[in-house]
Amino acid sequence: MTLIDGKAVSAQIKQEIAAEVEQIEAAGGKRPHLAAILVGHDGGSETYVANKVKACEACGFKSSLIRYETDVTEAELLAKVEELNKDADVDGFIVQLPLPKHISEQKVIEAIDYRKDVDGFHPINVGRLAIGLPCYVSATPNGIIELLRRYNIETSGKKCVVLGRSNIVGKPMATLMMQKANPGDATVTVCHSHSRDLKKECQEADIIIAAIGKPNFVTADMVKDGAVVIDVGTTRVPDATKKSGFRLNGDVKFDEVAPKCSFITPVPGGVGPMTIVSLMKNTLLAGKKAIYQ
Amino acid sequence: MTLIDGKAVSAQIKQEIAAEVEQIEAAGGKRPHLAAILVGHDGGSETYVANKVKACEACGFKSSLIRYETDVTEAELLAKVEELNKDADVDGFIVQLPLPKHISEQKVIEAIDYRKDVDGFHPINVGRLAIGLPCYVSATPNGIIELLRRYNIETSGKKCVVLGRSNIVGKPMATLMMQKANPGDATVTVCHSHSRDLKKECQEADIIIAAIGKPNFVTADMVKDGAVVIDVGTTRVPDATKKSGFRLNGDVKFDEVAPKCSFITPVPGGVGPMTIVSLMKNTLLAGKKAIYQ
């Protein structure tokens, strides 16, 4: 069993990005600039945004953090989005989700100029991904593809089961795994809450990508010997032994599943760090205007 | 075994649309207007476009056909697209594919105003479909969903195998079948040329949607008893007994597969007529500005 070390891979990619940024600056170019809008003080969102800012530093990017209290109006937020759309110094930006209920997340996402939408959530980027055109790919699926690539995991012709059909993980993950590409070319099955045959599908899978948000959902009896298991789950579970009072729990019952696997990602330290580094890669692409002019 | 009669269903839908157009006109509104651009004289394209014009008449739509010879330049074609984008009288329009090799199909598709893209090929419509937002859905998958709906075929929790991963059928079909909707909520597997386990996947499927473009590819040994089989294939096969010199052949070996099925579509007369009627439905939505303003 090989433990997929997302922390080490992400550290390496950050170094690669930083080296490229140095070259860009040496050639007289400008450092990529990522802006993030954070509304309120949700613990998870605070952590994610702090980690993104830290990753920007590691990559040599400029970063800006724009904060609002939870009573910000949708109009104020949309005005800021419009301002960032027009700000030539900002290469890409994100609006950290979730947003307070009085604000339409979809409206905000669609207000972002797709050429700066480094989260890859705008319909144009989602559509281009589905069609197979260059675009900003959603960070978590892109990070998983990168792990498969760096660990030389064969995907062509393999049976890949994706658990979960969310817009930011399950659906784009399925799209990437079925594309004519390497990694890709897999036979992809998407299972979800309505699936009657989920367990059987998993048992036959060469690759399981669990993004269902239920701690310890995937158990040893669901996994065949030699399978590759990618765990996207990050549910916060109360844990008195931790300073924070909680720990992150994956969708996979790691202790019993790991011994059966050829490859498995841990939680934390697997997919999580790759998600942030994927955002950095998109920001680098944005800075280089590699996808859109 | 129930034969799914796409011809009858499509005739009924055209009547429903015509009745709605009458009401719109009676209320002082304008008839929906579909324009089609046809380049060259490809036999298949000529037939499709002629059928679309005929369907417009049956629905009470206004239709315009714009023809070019195969030596039309990309610039000329793009200028016409721009003209149709701006023409307030045109509610929706299509550019019949394939185009000659010197013209970029993708460039032409992306030049179409997504609010008039009744084929549903523009990245914005593709992306909105993936996200689950209102949009123009690609005609063939939409027609298949309509058949499942009208025949009350249960899809929730069922195992659905889609054969083929094309942008206009396989991928959007998979998206629709996995969506939180009825029809929808299926466990969806997409198989293609690289799939090693295609036969086994089919054998376990409650619903098979074949869009692989290989005549008679799905044989009786690949289908379980009671399965629903939807045949999207329309390969032209030489046939001396036909006036045209050819017949349309589906992806399914109908004679041997049909007896095992609970429901099956014939070729012709199954999915084909539904594809055209789906385009009519999108044109009606465009005329009513039901999706975009």
Task: Provide the 8-state DSSP code for B245.
Answer: S
pLDDT given for residue B8 in this prediction: 98
At CB < 8 Å, which residues of chain A contact B?
106, 122-133, 156-159, 165, 167, 171-172, 174-175, 178-180, 185-192, 194-198, 201, 204
Residue ranges of chain A with per-residue pLDDT less than 70: none
User: Which residue in A has a C-alpha nearest to residue B129's C-alpha?
Assistant: A127
ipTM: 0.96
What's the CA angle centered on A150, arms A145 and A156, to 5 degrees?
A: 55
pLDDT given for residue B91 in this prediction: 98
Say yes or no for a CB contact (<8 Å) between B185 and A192.
Answer: yes
Of A157, A189, A191, the CB nearest to B196: A157
In angstroms, the separation between the Cα of residue A131 and the nearest Cα of chain B is 6
pLDDT given for residue B285 in this prediction: 98
Q: Please give the model's pTM, rounded to 2 decimal places.
A: 0.96
In angstroms, the separation between the Cα of residue B29 and the nearest Cα of chain A is 30
pLDDT given for residue B104 in this prediction: 98
User: pLDDT tens across A11-53, in order?
Assistant: 999 999 999 999 999 999 999 999 999 999 998 899 999 999 9
Residues in A closer than 8 angstroms to B127, CB to CB, are: 122-130
Q: Percent of chain B beyond pLDDT 70? A: 100
Residues in B closer than 8 angstroms to A125, CB to CB, are: 127
pLDDT given for residue A195 in this prediction: 97
User: Which residue in B has a C-alpha nearest to residue A202's C-alpha?
Assistant: B187
Of B127, B158, B188, the CB nearest to A124: B127
Say yes or no for a CB contact (<8 Å) between B187 and A194.
Answer: yes
Structural domains in chain A, CATH included, are: 31-113 (3.40.50.10860), 139-272 (3.40.50.720)
Residues in A closer than 8 angstroms to B157, CB to CB, are: 194-196
Of A131, A167, A180, the CB nearest to B126: A131
pLDDT band at residue B230 under the 50/70/90 scheme: very high
